[in-house]
Amino acid sequence: MIYETRGHLTVRDMEYEDAQVFTDAETEQGWHASVDKYLKRLDDQKAGNAISLVAEYCGKGAGYINVYPDARTGAFGGKGYPEIVDFGVLEKYRNLGIGSALMDIAEKIAAQYADTVYLGVGLHSGYGSAQRMYVKRGYLPDGSGVWFRDKVCGPYEECVNDDDLVLYLSKKLR
């Protein structure tokens, strides 16, 4: 399904061949990448548990985002709120409005299920542009503190500043 076309940009459902395309592109730019991440999202989509989107710029995969309408994990897991998961734009396609377009569509999808959407954002510098984008879009910390490996990291507990160290943010959609 095509969700939107804006000039050179098309946002559509993710397909199985996209998994390897994004894995190769992320590896090429030095990111830690695994095809398994994309295959899991596609399997979740096939099972009806997620909506997985791809942004194409001039016909090439440029970014992706996933919406879990009834998320079961994280700060709002099991409370009936959708979660935005695994959002990324390849570096060579940044600053072209692709991330904003993906977020716009993901939020529209989430709004069909609840009045609030949430997401977890990593804390290391690789997530800096995402952190800024979420704040500009009106996302606020949920107040539960930092999460590490899918649970709240208590005061003075040890953790590692990797992709599993996140802060959950939420936004009222309506």
Can you give the pTM of this predicted structure? 0.94
Q: Are the CB atoms for 171 and 111 separated by under 8 Å?
A: no
Complete domains list, the chain, with CATH: 2-172 (3.40.630.30)
For 1-56, the pLDDT digits (tens) are: 999 999 999 999 999 999 999 999 999 998 888 999 999 999 999 999 999 999 99
How are beta strands 83-89 and 116-122 bridged, if at all? Answer: parallel
For 118-139, the pLDDT digits (tens) are: 999 999 998 999 999 999 999 9
For 47-103, the pLDDT digits (tens) are: 999 999 999 999 999 999 999 999 999 999 999 999 999 999 999 999 999 999 999
How far, CA to CA in Å, does 60 sit from each of 15, 25, 87, 89, 136? 13, 11, 17, 12, 27
Strands (E), the chain: 2-6, 9-13, 51-57, 60-68, 83-89, 116-122, 140-148, 151-152, 165-172
Between CA 147 and CA 152 the distance in angstroms is 4
